Amino acid sequence: MKTGRIIKSISGDYSVQTDDGTYITKARGLFRKNKQSPVVGDIVDFQVENETGGYIQHIHERDNMLLRPPVSNIEKVIVVMSAVEPKLSQQLLDRFLVIVHSYNITPIICITKKDLSTEIEIKEVEHLLKQYEAIGYETRFVGNHDDLSEAIKPLINGIIVLSGQSGVGKSTMMNRLFEDLNIETNKISKALNRGKHTTRHVELFEMEHGYLADTPGFSALDFSHIEKDELADLFPEFEKVKPNCKFRNCTHINEPKCAVKELIKDSSFYQLRYKHYLTLFEEIQNRKVRY
Ligand SMILES: Nc1nc2c(ncn2[C@@H]2O[C@H](COP(=O)(O)OP(=O)(O)O)[C@@H](O)[C@H]2O)c(=O)[nH]1
Ligand SMILES: [Mg+2]
Ligand SMILES: [Zn+2]
C-alpha cells in the first residue's frame, strides 16, 4: 500500500503523486463499496498494481472541499479580479470573499491588469487594497510588466486555487508562472454569459511548497449552503465587533445598540461592505427552499 496526493483526475484515472513518482490509479472498488469518489487534492492510500498503476483503497479525511470544481484540502483561494476589462466590482469581490470564508478557507485578493490601468485607476485600486489589508486580507496588484513569481510564489503553501470571473486573467497567470503549460486563455463566449470555459478539469501544478490550480470562472458563486445567521461571521471586521452587540443573536440590521452599525458609521468602505452584507442577507432570506 502506498499513500499520495491526487493531483489530476481525468475520466476515472487519478494521478497520485508519491515520494517515488506519480501513479495512475483507479477507484472502482472504492466507489462500489461506499459510493465514495476521490477528488483532486485528496490524500489517498492505494494498492500498487504495477510500476505505474494501482487501485485507491482509502481517502483520508478532508479538511475542506470545493464542489465546483471538486478540489479538496485547500489552503488558500486567490480571488482574482481585474482592475479594468472587466472593471473591478467591489460587490463581486465581497461575494467571492464570503464564499471562500464559508468553506473555511483563507482568501487572498489579487487584482490584475495594472498595466491597462490609468494612474488614477491604479491609485484607486491601491487605496482599496489598503482598506482590505486593514481588515486582514493579503493582497496583490499585478499586470503584464510585473514579476508574477515574486508576487505569487511566497503565497504558495499547500493547495492554492485561483478563482474569479472569466476574463480576469487566471489562465494567463498560470501560463506565466509555469513554462510550457499553455492553458487556453481569453475564451469567453458572448452567448452564454457564464463563459464558455476552457478550464474543464482541475489539475494541481507543483510550485514551491505546494500546488497551484486554475478553476473555471464563476465556479465559486453558490450561496446555497450559507445560512443568514452565519453570514456576519464571513465578514471578518463584523465578526470581530459582534460580541459587543446588545443582543446575542443580533443580525445587525434593525436591532438597537448594534456594534456593527457603530463600526461602519464613519467609514464609507465599511458602509459599502455592510451594504453587500444586507444584499446577501436578503438573498439568503428570500431563496426558495430546495429539496
Ligand atoms: N494587459 C493585460 N492583459 C491581461 C492581464 N491578465 C490577463 N490579460 C488578458 O485578459 C484576457 C483574459 O485572460 P484569461 O487568462 O483567459 O482570463 P481567465 O478567464 O480568468 O482565465 C486575455 O486576453 C489575457 O491576455 C494583465 O495583467 N494585463
Ligand atoms: Mg481561464
Ligand atoms: Zn449587531
Question: Angle at which helices 268-286 and 90-102 pack, to 10 degrees?
Answer: 60
The per-residue pLDDT for 51 is: 85
Average pLDDT, integer, range 217-243: 87
- Three-state SS for 192? coil
The number of the ligand 1 atom at minimal distance from the alpha carbon of 199 is 21
Nearest ligand atom owner, CA of 218: 1
Find out whether the beta carbon of 210 lies less than 6 Å from any atom of ligand 1: no
Find out whether the beta carbon of 167 lies less than 6 Å from any atom of ligand 1: yes
| C-alpha distance from residue 254 to each of 101, 124, 193, 258 (Å) | 25, 32, 36, 9
The percentage of the chain sitting over the pLDDT mark of 90, rounded to a whole number, equals 76
Average pLDDT, integer, range 160-173: 92
The per-residue pLDDT for 199 is: 43
What beta strand segments (E) does the chain contain?
2-10, 13-18, 21-26, 43-48, 53-59, 65-66, 71-72, 74-82, 106-112, 138-141, 157-163, 205-207, 209-213
Higher pLDDT: 217 or 230? It is 230
Question: How far apart are the CA of 199 and the centre of ligand 2, in A?
Answer: 6
Using the Cα atoms of residue 57, residue 60, residue 61 and residue 64 in order, give the sign of their dihedral.
negative
Q: What is the mean pLDDT of the chain?
A: 90
Question: How far apart are the CA of 268 and the centre of ligand 3, in A?
Answer: 18
Look at residue 188 and tell me whether its pLDDT is greater than 80. no
The per-residue pLDDT for 196 is: 41
The predicted-structure confidence for 120-155, as pLDDT tens digits, reads as follows 999 999 999 999 999 999 999 999 999 999 999 999
The number of the ligand 1 atom at minimal distance from the alpha carbon of 164 is 20
Going along the chain from its start, the domains and CATH numbers come out as 2-59 (2.40.50.140), 65-213 (3.40.50.300), 228-286 (1.10.40.50)
Residue written as cell 489598503?
130
The predicted-structure confidence for 192-204, as pLDDT tens digits, reads as follows 444 444 445 788 9
The predicted-structure confidence for 239-275, as pLDDT tens digits, reads as follows 999 999 999 999 999 999 999 999 999 999 999 999 9
Average pLDDT, integer, range 98-121: 96
The whole-angstrom separation of Cα 7 and Cα 207 is 12
Find out whether the beta carbon of 171 lies less than 6 Å from any atom of ligand 1: yes
The per-residue pLDDT for 223 is: 87
Look at residue 18 and tell me whether its pLDDT is greater than 60. yes
